[in-house]
């Protein structure tokens, strides 16, 4: 039995996506699926409809039809429901299993909780997946940006993003301070005066399912390496444990000829490792060193898996190497469910000006298509976006960095991509 909606209409011409096997991540996707979409806050009002137009064109070009189901959150949620994250929206994404959203605004230091984090945790989208690859024609600060082809799996529900913290000056924070000092014996780090305290939970359950998802992705997409990233030399019982649990997954849950868990002693001598042919190698690296290796040895890495905060930092750093977050796609994977979303924020000062670059949200839709099994449509989206950019037809953020480029508005840029989809199909 489906959900009932208060202020959302379910498209009558679409067919709901069905779950075949949740544990195996298997969906039955019809040729005319119902897909909820949140345009988003700020520039979401511009990039949301633009990306929707491109994705619809790619679906049509491959003989399919998307029945879009408009749902609301953030500013649009407050306008329609007087709340940031209405039940209609949560239920629609839950029921229909595949959805896409634009950026939603999160105030810094005050205000309401991150809606992005709330959606991930409420619906258990525990893997934040960010592919980072270079598109021909995009200006980049790196000498060889084309060497970047990396997919980051960031744990989505734990770590400091779990939001367990206490504000300075409250009775609660003083109770926690007293417990840590008197009961746990950490009085040497609790200085006098105002203090804020947070807790960083990392569980075996959360760590293992994230690493399992990353390894399965590597196997399915013919990638040769999964790198577990954490600061385990300092945070031994959280991030260090993440790496240990991840290695247990590689060692215990997959046959040796499919997945090879590399011991730490072979960190610098991987070329000498006798890895079974076609096996995925699972290794580990320290988070701070990884920031360096991403730049110096970019082509040595393929799939990265890591706790929440490291994943945020490292995926943004990877995005900078291929031209910035304006073109960086992302999605949240759960068990037989996906919520695609761009990496960038809502940039409210550019909202409504027909200037924003919709590439990130468009390529997030490409990742959504890939999850749905529409690989032909997914490839068509990427090829058409790359053809548009390499021909010099770009939005203002790229045009100002290029010579002899043609500056297009958000809508016109989306139209140019659609034209290329029709030519390439």
Is 274 part of the annotated catalytic residue set? no
In terms of Cα–Cα distance, which of 214, 99, 211, 209 is closest to 151?
Answer: 214
Q: What is the pLDDT of residue 239?
A: 95
pLDDT tens sequence across 335-390: 999 999 998 889 888 888 999 999 999 999 999 999 999 999 999 999 999 999 99
Residue appearing with tokens 């989505």 = 156
Q: What is the mean pLDDT of residues 53-59?
A: 98
C-beta separation of 347 from 357 below 8 A: no
Q: Tell me whether residue 177 is annotated as binding.
A: no
Phi first, then psi, for residue 34 (nearest 5°) are -85, 125
DSSP string of 245-278?
HHHHHHHHSS-TTTEEE--GGGTT-GGG--PPTT
DSSP string, 58-99: HHHHTT---EEEE---THHHHHHHSSSS-HHHHHHHHHH-EE
Whether residue 130 is annotated as binding a ligand: the answer is: yes
Inter-residue contact 248 to 284 (CB < 8 Å)? no
**Taking the model in full, what pTM does it have?**
0.92
pLDDT greater than 70 at residue 9? yes
Among the listed residues 256, 288, 299, 375, the single catalytic one is 288
Query: Is the per-residue pLDDT at 268 higher than 90?
Result: no
The residue behind tokens 């590399």 is 262
Catalytic one of 312, 370, 397, 415 = 312
- Where residue 273 falls among pLDDT bands split at 50, 70, 90? low
**Which member of 72, 133, 161, 217 is catalytic?**
161
Pairing of strands 127-133, 98-101: unpaired
- Of 45, 231, 371, 413, which one is the catalytic site residue? 231
Q: Quick one: tokens of 119?
A: 């959606």
Tell me the average pLDDT across 190-219: 94
Strands 98-101 and 259-261 come out as: unpaired
In this prediction, residues 111-133 reach a mean pLDDT of 86
- Three-state DSSP state, 290: helix
pLDDT at 76 > cutoff 70: yes
pLDDT at 266 over 60: no
> Does 106 have pLDDT greater than 70?
no
120 is in an annotated binding site: yes
Q: Is 400 annotated as a binding residue?
A: yes
Looking at residue 336, what DSSP letter applies?
Answer: S
**Dihedral class, residue 45 (left if φ above 0, else alpha if ψ from -120 to 50, else beta):** alpha
Question: Does the annotation list 114 as a binding residue?
Answer: yes
Domain spans, the chain: 1-140+325-425, 144-151+202-321, 165-198
pLDDT at 271 (0 to 100): 60
Residues above pLDDT 90, as percent of the chain: 79
The answer to whether the CB of 287 falls within 8 A of the CB of 242 is: no
The verdict on whether 288 is a catalytic residue reads yes
Q: Is 390 annotated as ligand-binding?
A: no
Ligand-binding site membership of 396 (annotated): yes
CA angle 136, 224, 244 (to 5 degrees): 120
What superfamily would CATH give domain 144-151+202-321?
Isopropylmalate Dehydrogenase (3.40.718.10)
Phi, psi (degrees; rounded to nearest 5) at 364: -65, -40
For residue 270, the model assigns a pLDDT of 58
Burial class of residue 311 (count of CB atoms within 10 Å of its CB; 0-12, 13-18, 19+): buried
Hey, which residues does 151 pair with through a beta bridge?
131, 303
Q: What angle do CA 20, 116, 134 make, to 5 degrees?
A: 80
Q: Give the model confidence (pLDDT) of 288-321 as tens digits.
A: 999 999 999 999 999 999 999 999 999 999 999 9
pLDDT band for position 414 (50/70/90)?
very high
Closest residue by Cα to residue 309 from 247, 246, 229? 229
User: 1-140+325-425: which CATH number, 3.30.1360.10, 1.10.510.10, 3.40.718.10, 3.40.50.620?
Assistant: 3.40.718.10
What is the separation, in whole angstroms, between the first and last Cα of the chain? 38
Residue 231 annotated as catalytic = yes
Of 4-13, 242-251, 370-379, 381-390, the least confident: 4-13
Instruction: Return the pLDDT at 345.
Output: 85
- Res. 267: pLDDT tops 70: no
- Strands 338-340 and 331-333, by their bridges, are antiparallel
Q: 212-251 in b/e burial notation, b at 16+ Cβ within 10 A?
A: bbbbbbbbeeebebbbbbbbbeebeebbbbbbbbbbebbe
Q: Tell whether 308 is in a known binding site.
A: no
Residue 112 confidence (pLDDT) above 80? no
Question: Is 264 annotated in the active site?
Answer: no
338 and 332 Cβ atoms separated by less than 8 Å: yes
Structure tokens at 8: 């959302």
């Amino acid at each position: 039995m489906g959900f009932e909606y208060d202020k959302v209409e379910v498209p009558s011409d679409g067919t709901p996506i069905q779950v075949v096997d949740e544990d195996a991540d298997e969906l039955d996707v019809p040729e005319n699926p119902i897909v909820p979409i949140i345009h988003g806050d700020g520039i979401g009002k511009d990039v949301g409809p633009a990306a929707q137009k491109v994705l619809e064109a790619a679906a049509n070009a491959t003989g399919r039809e998307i029945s879009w189901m408009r749902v609301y959150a953030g500013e649009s949620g407050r306008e329609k429901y007087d709340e940031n994250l209405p039940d209609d929206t949560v239920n629609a994404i839950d029921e229909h299993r595949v959805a896409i959203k634009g950026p939603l605004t999160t105030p810094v230091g005050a205000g309401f909780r991150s809606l992005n984090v709330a959606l991930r945790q409420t619906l258990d989208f525990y893997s934040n997946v960010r592919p980072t690859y270079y598109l021909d024609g995009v200006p980049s600060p790196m000498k060889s940006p084309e060497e970047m082809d990396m997919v980051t799996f960031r744990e989505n529900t734990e770590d400091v993003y779990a939001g367990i913290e206490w504000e300075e000056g409250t009775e609660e924070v003083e109770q926690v301070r007293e417990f840590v000092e008197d009961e746990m014996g950490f009085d040497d780090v609790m200085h006098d005066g105002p203090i804020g305290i947070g807790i960083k939970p990392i569980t075996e359950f959360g760590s293992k399912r994230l690493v399992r998802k990353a390894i399965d992705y590597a196997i399915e997409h013919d990638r040769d390496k999964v790198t577990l990233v954490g600061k385990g030399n300092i945070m031994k019982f959280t991030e260090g444990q993440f790496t240990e649990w991840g290695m247990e997954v590689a060692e215990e849950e997959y046959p040796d000829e499919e997945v090879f868990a590399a011991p730490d002693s072979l960190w610098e001598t991987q070329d000498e490792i006798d890895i079974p042919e076609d096996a995925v190698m699972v290794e580990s690296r320290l988070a701070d060193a990884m920031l360096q290796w991403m730049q110096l040895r970019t082509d040595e890495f393929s799939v990265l898996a890591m706790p929440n905060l490291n994943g945020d930092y490292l995926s943004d750093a990877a995005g900078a190497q291929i031209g910035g977050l304006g073109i960086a796609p992302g999605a949240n994977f759960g068990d037989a469910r996906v919520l695609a979303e761009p990496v960038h924020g809502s940039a409210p000062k550019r909202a409504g000006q027909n200037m924003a670059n919709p590439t990130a949200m468009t390529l997030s839709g490409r990742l959504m298509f890939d999850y749905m099994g529409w690989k032909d449509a997914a490839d068509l989206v990427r090829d058409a976006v790359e053809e548009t950019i390499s021909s010099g037809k770009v939005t203002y953020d790229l045009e100002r960095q290029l010579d002899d480029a043609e500056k297009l508005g958000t809508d016109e840029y989306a139209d140019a991509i659609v034209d290329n989809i029709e030519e390439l199909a």
